[in-house]
Amino acid sequence: MHETETHVDLPAPTPWPMVLALGITLGFAGIVTHQLVAWVGAVMTLVAAVGWWYDVLPAEKTESVPRVPQHRRARPVVPVPETVQHLVVGEGGHRVRLPLQMHPYRSGLRGGLLGSIAMAGVAVVYGVIAHGSPWFPINALSAVLMPSLSDAGLPELVAYSGTGLGLGVVIHLLTSLFVGLVFACLLPMLPRRPILWGGVVTPLLWTGLIWATLGVVNPTLEAHISWIWFIASQVAFGVVCGLVIARTQPIETIQSWPLAARAGVEVPGVMPEKEPEE
């Protein structure tokens, strides 16, 4: 570790240990799911191993961090022969969760909503180009919960269905909002490049999982799906959702605040009262 009067060189953050762990997990998951999942895990493991190697060899990558002034540093620890008092969660500024900053939950909902619009646009374009009908992707999605469409042929899938439209919109919207919330929680823990994680890595992993399970979840969609267009719609969602969330101002995680307060909801008696200005 190299030190100067103003900065300290520390090991630079790296995502590769996490990617390596995910790759190994997918490799073993492929044993009980599908061989494609195992192949994806093997590729991620290899890429992560090489990336991690170049992060530490032949020279370790470092990051210059400003030194904390002497008056702001913690005082030396003085041994006290007394019983240790354990802190309660959130007490006295005690850090109990990571990350220290996160995006507001509402940014995840907004990102999921706008991402769902982008994803639906790509799917509708595919339906018009491939089958001459914008209703095809909607009916194919609704077949998950609609028995009348689960065994339908192509003529029924390209025709307008009010029930199919309503059910498809509900399924698509709820799923997108949920994924948007997941993105908002995960992106602060990933090292920069939200477009890479949201627009490339996540869609490819999600596509592999859907490809391995679609035959059980939605056989109708599996029989007519175009994987190129499916990946394109996932990328559209990930890019839009990731951009919307990444451009919001992160907020500090207040560990002692309740969920409503951390979500930014102004509720009397829940939000901490501001101290009056003198």
Q: Is 106 part of any domain?
A: yes
Full residue range of the structural domain in which residue 154 is found: 102-252
Q: Write the CB contacts of 29 (distance below 8 Å, at least 6 apart in sequence).
A: 37, 38, 41
pLDDT greater than 60 at residue 143? yes
Are residues 60 and 138 located together in one domain of the fold? Answer: no
- Regarding whether 132 and 20 lie in a shared domain, the answer is no
Q: pLDDT tens digits for 2-14?
A: 555 677 777 888 8
Please give the pLDDT value at position 278: 46
Tokens found for residue 104: 């507001």
pLDDT for 41-71, tens place per residue? 999 999 999 998 888 888 888 888 777 777 7
Which of 68, 85, 115 delimits the end of a domain? Answer: 68
**Domain identity same for 114 and 198:** yes
Residue 90 has pLDDT above 60, yes or no: no
pLDDT in tens, 107-129: 889 988 998 899 889 988 988 88
Give, to the nearest 10 degrees, the angle between helix 162-186 and helix 105-131: 140
Q: How many domains does the chain have?
A: 2
Of residues 116 and 213, more confidence is placed in: 116
Q: Is 264 left (phi over 0), alpha (psi -120 to 50) or beta?
A: left
> What CATH number is associated with residue 34?
1.10.287.70
pLDDT at 80: 73
Residue 73 is assigned to a structural domain of this protein: no
The residue ranking higher by pLDDT, 256 or 55, is 55
Same domain, yes or no: 124 and 43? no
204 and 118 assigned to the same domain = yes
Residue 23 within any structural domain of the chain? yes
* Residues 49, 137 within the same domain: no
Domain match, 158 and 240 both: yes
Share of the chain above pLDDT 90, in %: 8
Is residue 245 domain-shared with residue 127, that is, in the same domain? yes
On whether both 197 and 151 belong to a single domain, the answer is yes
143 and 225 fall within a common domain = yes
Q: Judge if 46 and 128 occupy the same domain.
A: no
Considering 131-145, 209-223, 244-258, the range whose residues carry the highest mean pLDDT is 131-145
- Residue 155 maps to a domain: yes
Contact 231, 204 (CB under 8 A): yes
Same domain, 127 and 229: yes
Longest dimension (CA), the chain: 81
Q: Is 277 left (phi over 0), alpha (psi -120 to 50) or beta?
A: beta
In a domain, 48, yes or no: yes
Structure tokens, 273: 């009262």
